[in-house]
Structures are given as structure tokens and as C-alpha cells.
Amino acid sequence: MAPSTATKTKKSAQPSRKGKKAWRKNTDVGDVEEQLDELRNEVRLGGKIHEKTDDQLFFTDKTGDAELRKKRQNRPLRIEEILKPQSAFDGIRSRPTASSSKSAPPTSIGKVREVSKTIANKIEDLAKRKREEGLGPGSTRALKRRRLDEKKAELKKAKGGFDLWDVEDTTQANDDGYLEPVAVKQVKKPKLPVDRPTAIQAVEITHAGTSYNPTFEDHQAALQVAIDVELAKEKSKAETAKKMSYPAELDELDDETFFDDSEDEEDDLIAEEDIDGGRETDGAMSEAEDGRSHVKPVVSESRKTRAQRNKEARNDQKRREELKAKEEKKLAKQLNRLSELKKQVTKEETARQKKLEEKAKAEAEAAATLTRRVGPHEFKAAPMEIQLTEELADTLRELKPEGNLFQDRFLSLQKRSLIETRVPVSKRLKYKRKEMESHDYKRFK
């Protein structure tokens, strides 16, 4: 058999460890010595690292890099770099003209204009005369005049003698060279009374029987739903027609029966009253003639004895005691059942509270699913779109599409009370149509 070409892993030779000398010679302790050297270095530099806390090993740099801060502060803006002239030569300037030199204001830096003695004397005389007359800036007369002017201005403003739209321009020019940040304020939606959440879904899932390939049971159930809706409409129409219709029973009555029955009944009543009155009169006359009365004589009761009264009193006392004992027995029984009655009352109260909560929850859910009226017209749901059994297509090629997606979305918005319900308005003439005959037609006739 040929030798195998697969390489065999050579078993590593293990050195001898017989005795302490062989152990020291053949044992590798390099890792241990490295760890010991590291520990000695740590002790020499300030202590062992694994024995120190995080505060001793780390610190928070709050100042940052000073060089980097300098670079950021001295860095020019990009717009300034773009606008900075790149050419080494100055731009071409126009030669100064006579008009530009004349319009320049004279420079008076470092010069003080002196007033002549004549003008100074005139100013001093005028100020002295003002002070003597009491017309100085701080005099009493000037203060009175100022108050009078302010009062006149207030009266003029109260009477409406001012410009309502005359507003002083208090805006200051922006000399910074930068545009102010323009922040668009978000429009706040007003809180309307009809702004309430609705549980009606935006896209409602139709009945399974309205599918293009429904099962027999689902299709029959959908047909039954459509039939129930139509029967309810027919029933409502029939009830309305019955209320507004003329009763057919009135046609079966003739005029004599309709108008004479009441008179005959009145005559019969009058005749019966006359007969009864005659009988009473005859009876009274006959009694008066006989001189006898039919009133029953009053039977006088015999007086009770003392024994009978005592017996009745004892019976009443006994009856009261029995009734009191019965009430006490009933009360004791209820006191013994106090814990049971308390549990029963608590149970009934819990059941009643739970029933009220369920009722309120059901009413809230029903109110959330109802369509709220937004405009003058009430929302009317579209009829159910369903095909009859014989109209169902066998293949997709023969399938006839039904409904309108735009109409479906429009009715969904109305059902969720997002838009107002509208009805088609027919075009009507503002004035009544008037028929006239032309002269040609008159001559033709």
C-alpha cells in the first residue's frame, strides 16, 4: 500500500520536569516577569493603577485647545474672502471734477470760529430782556405756556383732530452689514366647536360579499344587507304615505249617517231623562200619599261592659307585643346578616356602576362613529354596490368595474365631517317666462 501524501502534525516534544532543577530550567516565566516589571514601574511612578480611583486617573478638560481657539477666532468669513480684491493693482478712479470739489464741505477741523463783540453784545441784551419779561427757558411764564400747549394738544387728540395713521418711524438703519434672521411664524389653528376626533376610518373596508370573486355565503349575506336597507326605505315611505293619505273609511259613510247620528243620540238622551224624571216624580207623589218612608231604621248598639273593654285592651296589647317581637326578630336577623347584606349591596353597586360605564362608553363610541352635520343638509350614504348572482363574472376579462373612486373619496370626506354636505342645485329662471307672438307670426295666422 502506498504511503499517504497527507502531512501528519508532529507531536511537540515536552521537556522533562523531573525535579526542581528541571522545573526551573524548562519552565517559561517570561510573562510573569513582564507583569512584575510593569508593577514595579507603576509603584515607582506614583502607585499601582488598579488601586487608584477614576478621579485620580482621569480629569475633565474644560479649557480646550488654545491654539485651535485662536485659529477659529482669526478665521475670516467666507463672504469676506469672496469680496476681498484679488488683484495687486488698485482700480481705475475717475478724475475729480469741479462740481465734486464744490460740493465737498469745507473742513473745519482744528479751527474755532470767534464771535465779534457786536454780536455778543446783541445776544446778551436780548437774553437780559427775556429774563426781565419772564420769557426765559426756566421761567414761570414759560412753564405755564408749555402746560397750556400740552393741554391744547390733549383736547385736540380727544376730539379726533389728529391723524390716526401718522406713526413715527422708530426703525433704525441696520449698519451691521448682515441681514436679520427672518423666522416664519407657524400659523396657529383655531379651536372650532366641530373640531372633534372621529372614529370613522378614512378608507372603510367593504363587505366581503362585494368582492369580484366572493364565496356563496358572503355574497348571500351581502345581498341580505342590501335587501334590508331597501325594505327599511319602503317601510318608511309607506308609513309616510299612510299618514298623508285620505282615510278610505270615510267614503263608506253616507251623508245621512255622518250628519244625523249625533242628533238622534241627543234626542234619545233627552227622552230617557224625561222618562226617568217622570218616574221619580210619580214615586215621590205616591210616597207622599201613603205617608210612609223607605228609610231603614237606625239600630242602636248595646253598651259594652267593662269585661269586654278589658278583653279588647288585652287583645290589642298582645297584638302590639307580637308585632314588636316580630320586628325585633327581623332586625336581629338582618343584623346577623349585616356582612352578607354589605357584600350584596357592594356587589349591586359595582354591577350598576359597571353597567353605567359600559353604557357611557357605548354612547361615546356611537357618537364618535356618527356623522356630524356641518351644513344645512344631512349626509346621505351612497347605496351599497353589489352585483346579483347571475351578474358575477367568471373571469377577470368579463369583470365589470363598479363605483367611482373620486365619488368614494368625496363621500368619505363628507361622512367624516371634514367638508360640508352639498346637494345638486338645479338652474332656475329668475323671472317667470313670458310668451309673446312676433309680428311675422301674427301676419302668418
Q: Pull the grid cell for residue 254.
A: 253616507
Assess whether pLDDT exceeds 50 at residue 184: yes
Rg (CA), the chain: 59
The span from the CA of 274 to the CA of 268, in Å, is 10
Which carries the bigger pLDDT value, residue 229 or residue 98?
229
Q: What is the DSSP letter of 248?
A: T
pLDDT of residue 2: 45
Residues whose CB falls within 8 Å of the CB of residue 421, separated by 6 or more in sequence, listed in order = 373, 374, 375, 377, 378, 379, 380, 414
Per-residue pLDDT band for 227 (boundaries 50, 70, 90) equals very high
pLDDT of residue 1: 43
Residues 267 and 411 in one domain: no
User: Across all residues in the chain, what is the average pLDDT?
Assistant: 78
Each residue's pLDDT tens digit, 142-180: 778 888 888 888 877 776 655 666 655 555 555 556 666
Residues 405 and 382 in one domain: yes
Q: Pull the grid cell for residue 221.
A: 349575506
The span from the CA of 437 to the CA of 445, in Å, is 11
Q: Which of 342, 337, 392 shows the shortest CA–CA distance to 214?
A: 392
3-state helix, strand, coil in the chain (%, to 5): 55, 0, 45
Assess whether pLDDT exceeds 50 at residue 50: yes
Q: Among 108-112, 335-339, 352-356, 389-393, which range has the highest average pLDDT?
A: 352-356
Q: How many domains does the chain have?
A: 3
The span from the CA of 228 to the CA of 145, in Å, is 94
Assess whether pLDDT exceeds 80 at residue 6: no
The answer to whether position 212 is within a domain reads yes
Each residue's pLDDT tens digit, 303-318: 889 899 999 999 999 9
Q: Among 216-225, 329-338, 372-381, 432-441, which range has the highest average pLDDT?
A: 216-225
pLDDT of residue 336: 85
Q: Give the DSSP per-residue string, 165-204.
A: T-----PPP--SSSPPP--PPPPPPP--TT-------SS-
The answer to whether position 130 is within a domain reads no
The span from the CA of 371 to the CA of 378, in Å, is 9
pLDDT of residue 288: 47
Assess whether pLDDT exceeds 90 at residue 105: no
Residues 229 and 258 in one domain: no
Q: Give the DSSP per-residue string, 303-339.
A: PPPHHHHHHHHHHHHHHHHHHHHHHHHHHHHHHHTHH
Q: Are 388 and 219 in contact (CB under 8 A)?
A: no
Which carries the bigger pLDDT value, residue 165 or residue 281?
165
**Torsion angles phi and psi, residue 252, rounded to 5:** -80, -15
The answer to whether position 82 is within a domain reads no
Domain extent for 272: 254-283
Residues 412 and 264 in one domain: no
Instruction: Assign 402 to helix, strand or coil.
Output: coil
Each residue's pLDDT tens digit, 88-101: 777 777 776 655 54
pTM: predicted TM-score of the whole model, two decimal places: 0.37
pLDDT of residue 7: 46
pLDDT of residue 356: 95
Residues 233 and 259 in one domain: no
Which carries the bigger pLDDT value, residue 430 or residue 182?
430
The answer to whether position 404 is within a domain reads yes
The answer to whether position 390 is within a domain reads yes
Assess whether pLDDT exceeds 70 at residue 281: no
pLDDT of residue 46: 81
Amino acid at 410: F
Residues 235 and 258 in one domain: no
The span from the CA of 118 to the CA of 127, in Å, is 14
**How many residues are recorded in the chain?**
445
pLDDT of residue 157: 73
Q: Are 420 and 239 in contact (CB under 8 A)?
A: no
> What is the distance, to the nearest Å, from the Cα of residue 415 to the centroid of all Cα atoms in its chain?
17
Q: On the CB side of 340, how many CA atoms lie within 13 Å of its CA?
A: 5
Which residue shows C-alpha cell 475729480? 96
The answer to whether position 327 is within a domain reads yes
Share of the chain above pLDDT 90, in %: 19
The answer to whether position 384 is within a domain reads yes
The answer to whether position 386 is within a domain reads yes
